[in-house]
Structures are given as structure tokens and as C-alpha cells.
Structure 1
């Protein structure tokens, strides 16, 4: 048995009744996987714009430090694909006197993107269906069927991967909409917990087409001024 008694201590925390430690074993496993992936990383990171909303695994931290997974707003102005560290402000749906209420309904923004994605997939389906109808054998003579058969096989081979991808994209979008139902409508910026994070902590919980959500410049200025006022005591930015 290890002198550190890791398994016993993890089990004790997991069964302590403290919600923070409910999934401590999964969180530690996730952290180990991230450590292991560092060796394989090629040094190319996703690039974000200031105001982008991302989903961050802040991890399991000490006492009242911000923990677990939350949406967050990117504050960096000039991010790049070579930069691993970005600064973010976590978001919460719960009121706290230290938080800043912001005028954004994340749920509605994501749902609009999801609906637009489904409409795009519907158009792709309709385009393929129109192409398929051109091979309708009931409207062709026997000679035409024979001539079109080879052409149809080529179309089928080329279209099958497209159809499979559309099916997968629709399924992912439908799954995302189910997850979105659990989001609350009110949003607060946790300005007292703004912090630098590794991009390794950012999780892709929705398809790319749906995840493209951001806040406007006025909201960003309000957040930055609140951070300045509460934590840094810098002059207000206009």
C-alpha cells in the first residue's frame, strides 16, 4: 500500500457528502490524461477572439477558488495559435453580490446557432434528394436506365459519406439542444475570479457551428471596468 493512501483518501472525500468532491475520481483521471497529452502536443493551439464564450474545466481547486466546469468569456485582445495561456472571466447563473449581471442570454444564442445548423443540414439533404430524383427509373426507358446506372453508382459512392456526415451532424446538434435545456437564462460574470488558464482546459461540448457565441463590446467594457474597480483600482475605460 502506498504511504500516501491515495485510494482511501479519495474514497473518503468522494463519500463525504460535499458536492465538490462527488466526481473527484473522474476529475483526477481527466487531469492525468491532460498531463499525459502534454508530451504529444505539437504546440499549435486554437485561436480565440476577445469576447468569445468558451466552456472551461477549471478543475478541482482549494477552498473557495473557482472550481469545476463553467462557461467563461475570453478577455485577451491579441490571441494566437502559438499561445497556450488566455485570460478568462467565469460565468454563473447564480446571484452573488461580487458578480456582475450581464445582459446576455447564452441559452438563446446557442439555440439560435443550433436551429441555423439544422436548417443548413436540411438544405444539404434537399440538394442530395433533388440529385437522387434525377435517377428515377420510373421516368426512364430501359436504355436510359442502363446508361444512367453507372452514373448513379458513382453518385451513390460520392453521396454516401455526405449523407453519413449530415446524419452525424444532425445527431450532434440534437444532443446539444438537449444539453441546452439545462442552461438558465440569467448570466453573471464572476469578475472576482478572472484568471489565466491553459487552453488545455477548454472543452468542446457543442459542435463547432453552435459554439460560435460571443459578447458585445459594451459587455466587455462593463466587465473590464468592474474588474478595475473591484480588484485593480485603475481608471475607468470609456
Structure 2
């Protein structure tokens, strides 16, 4: 079997770059803005968008381009066929019932995380996250994935994300993030207090199968309902749930 020409692979990379821009935007983008964010020439971006429009991966509105409906079909196929989400659901249901908090499962996509399953607790969070929502790795439950990144990818994450300020107002340097992730890897869990959303506490743990990191599982709730004395119990529940999911995966 012959390998694909370098030019074809480069075109594929560029198409994914454009898709990524549309995926991350929360509003329609003009052609020039898509090109700028994808770091491509306008003419190249237009050719890619034309193909994406034809295939349903992009759609054109009066004021710009947005992601197209073809992504929904792919997302549905993932949810139907993804073994991790299927085996995790009953564990998440039990975890939500036991803790009273919202239980979630995330998988890593590049230097981000994606929500693939969620079960609401007794008191639903004041904000809603739809399945498929893309979130940062350097905040909240994302750190339970980031702590196990290969060294090169960890370096890239730190360079791209730091310095930053958590929603609580705490400033985080590159050194501070690396120290935090090393501690999480040693402890086997991440505890987050008002990092991405104010007055929200999250406890998360990695789902490991042999040497493979499959995802991260965690619980989230209002800080007013999760006292410091609750932390050890929640950490234990989350880690047991993560282990249970891993044991059920093939």
C-alpha cells in the first residue's frame, strides 16, 4: 500500500484546522475570520469551506460560516459505538445517587476534553453542559487527564495555557500548573475549587486500563453543599467509580 502524497495530507490537516475553528466558535464567522484563526490564506480557506459545505460539515448563514449538521451524525455514531460511555453510564448513575452530585465522564481530544456522559445529581447545577461540549484541560476535571499527558504534549499545554487566571481570581503560572499536575499524578485524583465556574467544587480521577488513559470521571456540585469535611469521602467514591469503569472496559 502506498502512502498518501504529502500534499494530500497537508490538505487534510488544513481542512481539520478549518473544522476546528468552526467547532470552537459560538457565533457565525466571516471568511476572513475563519482564515485568520486557521492561519490560512483566504483563497485556501474558501476552497476548503466549499468542500465542507457540500459534505454538510459546514453551513453558511447570512453573517458567516458555522459548523454543519454532518458533525451530529458522527457524534451520534460515537455515542452508539463508544464502549467507554456505555459501561460508564450505570456507574455514573450510582455515583450521582450516592453523592447527590452531578457525575460526568470526559475523554481527551488533543489539548482539550469533551463531555461524553453526564448524570445530574439531586440538585442540578445552575449551568448546563451539553454532551459534546469541549472544555479546557488545565481547569477542573481536565487536570485528571492533563496530569498523564506525555511530556511533549504536557509542555505544549503549559506553554499554550499559562499564565491564566482561575474564575476565583487565583493566578496560575507555568510552574504552578506543572506542580499542580505532578501532585495530581502522585495522588491519583484532582480536587478543584472555583476554577472554571465560581463556587463550584469538582473531584475527578483518571480512568486507566492497563497503561492506557481512557478518560476522566468526576463529580461536581455547589461549594456551599460540599464542605471540606466531605472531600475525603467524595475522593474515595470517585476513585472507586473510576476503577469500576476501567474494570468493565474490554
Structure 1 length-normalised TM:
0.24
What is the TM-score normalised by the length of structure 2? Answer: 0.24
Which has the higher Rg, Structure 1 or Structure 2? 1
Structure 1 or 2: larger strand share? Answer: 2
